[in-house]
Amino acid sequence: MGLLLKGGLHSSLVSTAAIAAAAIMVMLLMLNSWREGGNQQLSPTLQLGSCVGNTAYFGIPVALALLPPEALSISIGYDLGATLLCWGLGPIWLAGARPEAHPSRWRELVNHLSSSPASRGLLGALLVMATPWQATITTALWMPSRVVIVLALIVVGMRLAGLAEERSAATHLGQRHPEQRLRPQANLLNAALVCKLLLFPAFLFGLSLILPISSIARQALVLQAAAPTAISVLLIAETEQADSTAAAQLIWRSTLIAMITIPIWAWLLKTMAERLGT
């Protein structure tokens, strides 16, 4: 709610949210087609993890650090659209059912959307905007919002450390850790990593070139697309009893590799903006 109030609720935020949701949906359908037609199959969990990034607790801090202030609303809009799609469609996607194939799933989709963090934040922001104290509340919530982001980054680190401890304990006891059982699928995991950190942001970059948007907006979109896999993918996978082991592996590996790939994307985007003169 604090981020939405700070970025402002306007038409550009809504359009950015729509672009994010549409891009993720298109990539999911492409990955699903590849899964059905190829010899190697990406699980629905890896498909979702290849498209949905940790924009709230990784992408937005990156935007705050690397981009001008006007890019914040674009980054928030992307996070809004991605979060709504992830929490709304994600559980159904991981369950292996499409809404159009199962009309009864639409009620479940509405329930997931209503319980989404993005939906609650959006509702709260709209309520605040209807009051005469919008400016005061926005100022009051901005610092706590940034503190929450920092705390969330710490929680992400703790979750990744927990995965490492589980692996170490299993190895010490001579047990096969889930990661070891995942080794036959290592090529699929690598394919998901390439898609999340390289192909998907490249897809957003190509899409942004044909859209009437500024260079700053283009950089914000691509950097959000380049964010590592979202923790929410693991939460949804655990809830739906899907491939949570693959989700955990994809999250911690993409988070570590993103420390390298995101600065490279930022440099490439800045260089291209300078050459294009925009």
Reported confidence tier of residue 52, pLDDT bands at 50, 70, 90: very high
Tally of CB atoms within 10 A around 269: 24
| Token pair in block for residue 12 | 């550009």
Q: Is the pLDDT score of 183 beyond 80?
A: no
Kindly report, residue by residue over 35-47, the tens digit of the pLDDT: 544 556 788 899 9
Q: Which residue has the higher pLDDT, 138 or 10?
A: 138
pLDDT at 132: 86
pLDDT tens digits, residue range 64-81? 889 998 888 888 889 888
253 or 106, which is more confident: 253
Query: To the nearest whole percent, how much of the chain has pLDDT over 90?
Result: 24
Q: Which residue has the higher pLDDT, 166 or 3?
A: 3
Averaged pLDDT, 215-220: 92
Average pLDDT of 205-232? 92
Nearest to 226 by CA among 63, 86, 87, 88: 63
Give the integer Cα–Cα distance in Å for 126 and 13.
Answer: 14
* Mean pLDDT on 209-233: 91
Distance CA 107, CA 85 (A): 15
Output the pLDDT for position 49: 93
**Other Cβ atoms closer than 10 A to 74:** 28
| Averaged pLDDT score across all residues of the chain | 80
In whole angstroms, give the CA distance from residue 180 to residue 52: 25
Q: CA 275 to CA 278: how far, in whole Å?
A: 8
Residue 61 above 80 pLDDT? yes
pLDDT band at 267 (very low <50, low <70, confident <90, very high): very high
Write down the pLDDT at residue 264. Answer: 95
Dump pLDDT digits (tens) for 84-104: 888 888 888 887 644 444 455
For residue 207, is pLDDT > 90?
A: yes
What lies within 8 Å, CB to CB, of 183 at 6+ separation is none
Per-residue pLDDT band for 184 (boundaries 50, 70, 90) equals very low
Query: For residue 179, what pLDDT band results from cuts at 50, 70 and 90?
Result: very low
Q: For residue 8, with 0-12 CB atoms within 10 Å meaning exposed, 13-18 middle and 19 or more buried, which class applies?
A: middle
Q: pLDDT of 103-161, one tens digit each?
A: 555 666 666 666 667 777 778 877 888 888 888 888 888 788 778 777 777 776 776 67
- Name residues whose C-beta falls within 8 Å of residue 115's C-beta, 6 or more positions apart in sequence: 87
Model pLDDT, residue 124: 81
Other Cβ atoms within 10 Å of 188 Cβ, number? 18
Is 128 in contact with 134 (CB distance < 8 Å)? yes
